[in-house]
């Protein structure tokens, strides 16, 4: 790893030579919560991310240098060295896909669809941020509401409680710290469209931040149990966190509104499904179920729609 430039006058820098394709935008899209996310910016050339590390705040800019077959990364802030050292994990370069290839070769039901999507998206990887609370907050915000509402709450919460991110990207902000989140009363969250139940869950997660962050060093089964030990973090939220923060290729978001229909239609040609059917169809892919779901979601595959859309009720008016 080569680094150049003292801090804070200039960024630290490294490059990561690729031995397999990595689609940077699609892989890291899992970390962006809405197009105006102040913490993650997916551009045509650069991907920007503001984060909190064990060594302090950091901002990183990642460029895919296709001519050199490498990724280049620049980082600012006290946590700059940490994000450079963990670049491979973040972009999925450490994502072992041998288990997926073995399952695919066994040709379980629906394998043709999954194989076609894998060929279409060869660079889609499972990222690993190791930033557990950072993934927990948007997961909680996604409970009970649409993705649009969740993204808006995340943006407003970060703008109000986060701090300016280090480095040259002035619009970027750090995710709110555990201390700030724990100290914010539930009634103060209502202005961000966050009702009492989710606000209290976020506060509990923030108070348990040290134990939650330890989950990144645990075996996945133990890590999932650690996540669900926080009241309000159910199976859906734990899976969302495990996929992004822990690099869990088997994470299944049970309780999702859209996924059962997507899985039922893509793997069985059934227009409507439920969690039971989804888990049954995904069972042959155990160990890689999260990866299969990522392929389905990334492809944009959706089940047929019947009837008019229902109006979206905002929790801001409650």
Question: Who's near 113: CB < 8 A, 6+ residues apart?
Answer: 266, 267
pLDDT given at position 306: 65
CA 158/CA 142 separation, integer angstroms: 15
Rounded Cα distance between 136 and 13, Å, is: 29
Separation of alpha carbons 37 and 49, rounded Å: 10
Phi, psi dihedral angles at 218 (to 5 degrees): -100, 160
Q: Contact, 76 vs 11, CB < 8 A?
A: yes
Q: What pLDDT score does 124 carry?
A: 96
Side-chain-side CA neighbours of 95 within 13 Å: the count stands at: 34
Sequence-separated contacts (24+) of 106-112 with Cβ below 8 Å: 106/284, 108/284, 108/285, 109/267, 109/268, 109/281, 109/284, 110/266, 110/267, 110/268, 110/281, 110/284
User: What pLDDT is recorded for position 101?
Assistant: 95
Q: DSSP secondary structure string, 55-106?
A: TEEEEEEEEEETTTTEEEEEEESTTHHHHHHTHHHHHTTT---HHHHHHHHT
Residue 58 class from Cβ within 10 Å (0-12 exposed, 13-18 middle, 19+ buried)? Answer: buried
3-state secondary structure of 259: helix
Query: pLDDT truncated to tens, each residue of the chain (318 aa)?
Result: 334 333 334 599 999 999 999 999 999 999 999 999 999 999 888 999 999 999 999 999 999 988 889 999 999 999 999 999 999 999 999 999 999 999 999 999 899 999 999 999 999 999 999 999 999 999 999 998 999 999 999 999 999 999 999 999 999 999 999 999 999 999 999 999 999 999 999 999 999 999 999 999 999 999 999 999 999 999 999 999 999 999 999 999 998 888 999 999 999 999 999 999 999 999 999 999 999 999 999 988 777 776 555 444 455 555
Calculate the CA 293 to chain-centre distance. 13
Cα–Cα distance between 88 and 15 in angstroms, integer? 10
Distance CA 156, CA 38 (A): 9
Rg (CA), the chain: 20
Interatomic CA distance for residues 287 and 212, integer angstroms: 23
């Amino acid at each position: 790893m080569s680094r150049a430039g003292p801090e804070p006058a200039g960024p630290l820098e490294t490059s990561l030579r690729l031995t397999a394709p990595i689609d940077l935008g699609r892989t890291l899209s899992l970390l962006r919560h809405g197009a105006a996310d102040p913490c993650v910016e997916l551009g045509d050339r650069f991907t920007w991310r503001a984060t909190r590390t064990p060594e302090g705040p950091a901002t990183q800019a990642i460029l895919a240098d296709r001519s050199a077959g490498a990724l280049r990364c620049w980082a600012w802030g006290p946590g700059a060295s940490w994000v450079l050292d963990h670049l491979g994990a973040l972009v999925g370069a450490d994502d072992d896909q041998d288990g997926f290839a073995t399952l695919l070769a066994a040709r379980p039901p629906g394998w043709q669809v999954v194989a076609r999507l894998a060929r279409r998206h060869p660079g889609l990887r499972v990222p690993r941020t190791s930033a557990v609370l950072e993934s927990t907050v948007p997961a909680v915000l996604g409970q009970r509401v649409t993705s649009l509402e969740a993204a808006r709450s995340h943006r407003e919460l970060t703008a109000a409680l986060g701090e300016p991110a280090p480095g040259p990207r002035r619009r970027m902000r750090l995710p709110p710290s555990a201390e700030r989140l724990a100290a914010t009363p539930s009634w103060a969250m209502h202005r961000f469209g966050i009702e009492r139940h989710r606000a209290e869950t976020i506060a509990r997660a923030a108070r348990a931040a040290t134990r939650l962050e330890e989950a990144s060093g645990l075996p996945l089964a133990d890590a999932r149990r650690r996540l669900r030990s926080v009241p309000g973090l159910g199976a859906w939220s734990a899976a969302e966190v495990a996929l992004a923060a822990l690099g869990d290729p088997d994470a299944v978001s049970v309780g999702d509104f859209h996924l059962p229909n997507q899985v039922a239609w893509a793997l069985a040609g059934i227009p409507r499904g439920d969690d039971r059917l989804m888990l049954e169809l995904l069972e042959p892919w155990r160990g890689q179920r999260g990866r299969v779901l990522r392929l389905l979601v990334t492809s944009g595959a959706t089940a047929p729609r019947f009837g008019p859309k229902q109006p979206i009720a905002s929790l801001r008016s409650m």
